Amino acid sequence: MNLAVNGLRLMGKRCGVGRYLEYLLRGWDGLEHPFERILVYTPGELEEPIALPRDAEVRIIRTGESPTYWEQVALPQRHRAGDLLFCPSYVIPLAARGRVVLTHHGSYEALPDAFPWFERVKSRWVYQLSARRASLVITVSESSKADIMRYYGVGAEKIRVIPNGVDPTFRPRPDPAAARQTRLAYLGADRPFLLFVGKLSRRRNLPQLVAAFAQVKTERGLPHALLVIGPDPLGQDVPRLAREQGVGDAVRYREFASHVELVRIYNAAELFVYPSSYEGFGLPVLEAMACGLPAIALRNSAFLEFAEGAAHLAADGSVAELARAITEVLSSPARRAQMRAAGLRRAADFSWNAVARETLATLAEVASR
């Protein structure tokens, strides 16, 4: 029996689920498992190459059609019923024969306002069907498990919680010259900065973050900049938000940063802010903590599980709450030092190698049923 992997999310520049799958594939290298081969199906050549386990190969199924067509029609046609299919991103091909394991990264239904209604309607039924049809659902936090049970009616016995990990290259790098160069490269000046990394989804409250940053900066006369890194599918236009708040000069935006760049950026920042109203996991917060960077997140969902006591959890994503949290952390070096130490301790408990091992063992278990 082979392990087939739906590699749709490996296409393009990888963030979110694409990175999750990349970490798993890296972590599977050299592990024992009952599968003959690991077949990673993709709709085309990968734009960004990927390090695969030695017993894995990429199989390209070309269609020229939409990703949905590829996932729902082309993939199940090619996939053999005797193989186990692993779908790392919310959705499975509903026509797929044989056993399927799904990873669900957090239920959108928990936060209806954050998504347009048509997306909710569309995703609701396909997510629900996927979760119900799958032999097993892996999810990344207890809060996400509770939501999957509640919104999709999936039984607890069919859900396995395996949190995210953090790559060992995310670690403190005490190198002031490098940090200075990183600030020059990304900000155009050697000034302290606040950092956000992640797709600019609505639930992540970017307008509120920019407004809170502007408020604190003005009130306190801070020299700080704000660096925002992540794709902007909604067209929120961070530079415009900054200009509207009168801090156009202090806010910098980048669509993407590679893994090696992120390590340097986390190490050059003063404070990480991730004001998300809901996350299945919230990996960038863990990565910031692993680099010794104090982090602000919100008091909700998975943050209560892995970030409580290490990150500063603000009550909600309102401008007032965010401004208060930023002020509190920035004005207290002692608080930052304590957060740094606690964050490092906490992050040490999370490793992609362990996640990869547990995930592969779970897949093997389903395959052996």
Among 32, 157, 221, 260, binds another protein (CB under 8 A): 260
Q: Which region among 74-82, 176-184, 190-198, 324-332 touches another protein (by CB under 8 A)? A: 176-184
Q: Shortest gap between Cβ of 119 and another protein (angstroms)?
A: 33
Q: Which residue's CB is nearer to another protein, number 263 or number 325? A: 263
Compute how many residues bind another protein; rule: CB under 8 A: 20
Among 26, 191, 202, 220, binds another protein (CB under 8 A): 26
CB of 218 closer than 8 Å to CB of 246: yes
Q: Is 259 in the site for another protein (CB under 8 A)?
A: yes
Ramachandran class of 263: left when φ > 0, alpha when ψ lies in -120 to 50, beta otherwise: alpha
The two three-digit tokens of residue 220, written as one number? 């306190």
Q: Is 184 in the site for another protein (CB under 8 A)?
A: no
Q: Which region among 60-68, 146-154, 167-175, 217-225 touches another protein (by CB under 8 A)? A: 167-175
Q: Shortest gap between Cβ of 173 and another protein (angstroms)?
A: 6
Q: Shortest gap between Cβ of 337 and another protein (angstroms)?
A: 22
Q: Which residue's CB is nearer to another protein, number 167 or number 279? A: 167
Helix (H, G, I), strand (E, B) or coil at 299: coil
Q: Which residue's CB is nearer to another protein, number 353 or number 362? A: 353
Q: Which residue's CB is nearer to another protein, number 83 or number 167? A: 167
Q: Is 351 in the site for another protein (CB under 8 A)?
A: no
Q: Give the separation between CA 119 and CA 108, rounded to whole angstroms.
A: 10
The tally of CA atoms less than 13 A away on the side-chain side of residue 295 is: 35
The two three-digit tokens of residue 273, written as one number? 């802010």
CB of 92 closer than 8 Å to CB of 134: yes
Please write down the long-range contacts of 63-69, taking CB distance under 8 Å and 24 or more positions apart. 67/8, 67/43
Q: Shortest gap between Cβ of 165 and another protein (angstroms)?
A: 14
Q: Is 258 in the site for another protein (CB under 8 A)?
A: yes
Name which of residues 33 to 62 contact another protein (CB under 8 A).
48-51, 54
Q: Shortest gap between Cβ of 265 and another protein (angstroms)?
A: 9
Q: Classify residue 50 as exposed, middle or buried by CB count within 10 Å of its CB (0-12, 13-18, 19+).
A: middle
Q: Which residue's CB is nearer to another protein, number 26 or number 120? A: 26
Q: Which residue's CB is nearer to another protein, number 225 or number 329? A: 225
Among 66, 68, 77, 169, binds another protein (CB under 8 A): 169
Nearest CA-CA partner of 355 in 158, 145, 141, 166? 166
Q: Is 255 in the site for another protein (CB under 8 A)?
A: no
CB of 81 closer than 8 Å to CB of 98: yes
Q: Give the separation between CA 182 and CA 190, rounded to whole angstroms.
A: 8
Q: Give the separation between CA 356 and CA 105, rounded to whole angstroms.
A: 16
Q: Shortest gap between Cβ of 49 and another protein (angstroms)?
A: 4
Among 33, 120, 124, 173, binds another protein (CB under 8 A): 173
Binding mask 122-161 vs another protein (x if CB under 8 A, - otherwise)? ----------------------------------------
Q: What is the DSSP string of 250-264?
A: TEEEES---HHHHHH
Q: Give the separation between CA 71 and CA 96, rounded to whole angstroms.
A: 10
How far does the chain reach from its first CA to its final CA, in angstroms?
13
The two three-digit tokens of residue 83, written as one number? 């193989």
Q: Which residue's CB is nearer to another protein, number 51 or number 334? A: 51
Among 3, 85, 162, 263, binds another protein (CB under 8 A): 263
Q: Which residue's CB is nearer to another protein, number 81 or number 178? A: 178
CB of 206 closer than 8 Å to CB of 273: no
Residue for token digits 């959890």? 313
Distance, C-alpha 336 to centroid of its chain: 24
Helix (H, G, I), strand (E, B) or coil at 285: helix
Binding site for another protein (CB under 8 A): 26, 48-51, 54, 168-169, 173, 175, 177-178, 181, 185, 258-261, 263-264
